[in-house]
Every structure is written in C-alpha cells, then in structure tokens.
Amino acid sequence: LKSREGDDATALQFYREFHHIWVRQRDEALRLTSRAQKMWSAQAGQRETGNAALTRSVSGPEMPSGAELEDGLTGLQNRRFLELRLEQMIEQCRRDDIPLHLAMIDIDRFEEITRDTSEVVGDAILRGVAWIMRDAFRANDLVARYDQSRFAIALAGAASSEAARVLARLAKLIAGHDWSELHQGAEIRIVCGSVEVGNEDDYQSALSKAEKAIQEAKPKPGKGKRSA
C-alpha cells in the first residue's frame, strides 16, 4: 500500500519488520517441533525398555515379542501377558507365603454408552480408564486389559482390606474424572469384583473366580444409575 502511494522506504521497512517476525515465529515453531520429537522418542524408548523387561520376566519355551504382549488400543498388557505373568505371580506368592488378590474391573454399561455415542467415544473411554489405572497402581502390580471393557489387576502382598481400599480409590478416581470432553454429561463408573487367590489355584481357576466375582458385583437389570 505504501509502495503504491510512492513511499517505497516505508514499504521496505514494513516488509523487513514483517519478515523478521515471520522468521522468529518459524524458528520457534521448529524449536518446539524438535523438542516434541525428542520427547516422543524418549518416551517410546522408555516404553520399549519397559516392555522388554516385562517380556524377560515371563519365561517360556516360545516367548512372544513385546508387541504381542501389549494391547494396541490402551497400551496396557494384554490377556496373553496376563495369563503368563499371573501364573508366575501365583507361584511366587505361594513360595513367599504372601496373599495375592486378583480383581476384575468392568466399565459399567459400556455397550450402552458406545451405542448411544459412537465406537470412537468408546475407544477414547477405554484409553482414558487405562491411563487412570496405569497411574493408580504400583510398578509391581499387574494391570492388563482382559477383553472388550474389562480389565484385570493382580495385587501381590495386599491384604483383603488393602485390596478393597485400592479398588475403591480407583473407582473414585474414574468416577471423578471429567469425561465431558468425550461426551456431554458423560459419567463413567466401574464395577469391581475381587478374589483372593488360593494355594490350590492356577491362573485359569483364579481368572474364573474373578469373572464370577465381577458378574455378582454388577447391578441387576433395572437397578443402578445410568453411566452416561
């Protein structure tokens, strides 16, 4: 505009200032992008290291790779890893004469929530619940996705009262989380069932007991509050 009016000097100065601002913003964007890439690479490396350590802790004649032991949606360990590791934990707790509690957790009315919203929202809820669970338990606790909306948690050395307290805290964390970004007015709750693994149990019987416990803990038809 200034150039059209014959003020070339002012137009040139304006261009130089604009170019300086643009270069500064570009350099800042490149710096932030580089920083983010380094953080993502570091996190990926830590995750791979953790998975490798978990894989090494499970012995067997045909050891699956780390990727085969991880749930692709939530990033938690999957059912295959759960079965392998749970058998080890049962044997270890039996040798050390310490209690082992196995809990089954289900997202209340998950199918109904997904039907009323979308599968995308359902997947986001699963990832959110997994994120809360990952942050809520000790490093030596076993946390895995069991199937569609169910998760399993093995707590070694936890007495019945401690296991109940930990699970109640988890339920409170999930219920108190703000899920409104996923769906307006959403309220996500979980149902918990827990059993103490006996000396006579193997991983199959322990999981069977936990499945029965979660079924008994679920609200009966026509009862309970809507979750979303």
pLDDT digits (tens, 9 = 90+) for 155-170: 999 989 999 999 999 9
Q: What average pLDDT score do residues 68-76 get? A: 93
- Residue 14: what residue type? F
Same domain, 19 and 115: no
pLDDT in tens, 167-195: 999 999 999 999 988 888 889 999 999 99
* Strand order from edge to edge, sheet including 100-107: 142-145, 150-156, 100-107, 190-196
H-type alpha helices, the chain: 8-57, 79-96, 110-116, 119-136, 160-176, 203-217
- Domain tally for the chain? 2
Is 223 domain-assigned?
Answer: no
Strand partners, 101: 155, 196
Alpha carbon distance 8, 1 (integer Å): 9
Same domain, 94 and 185: yes
Q: Is the dihedral of CA 75, 81, 83, 87 positive or negative?
A: negative
Same domain, 108 and 172: yes
pLDDT in tens, 96-133: 999 999 999 999 999 999 999 999 999 999 999 999 99
Name the token pair of 122: 């359902």
Closest Cα partner for 148 from 166, 172, 123?
A: 123
- Residue 141: what residue type? D
Q: Residue 5 belongs to what domain range?
A: 1-57
pTM higher than the cut 0.75: no
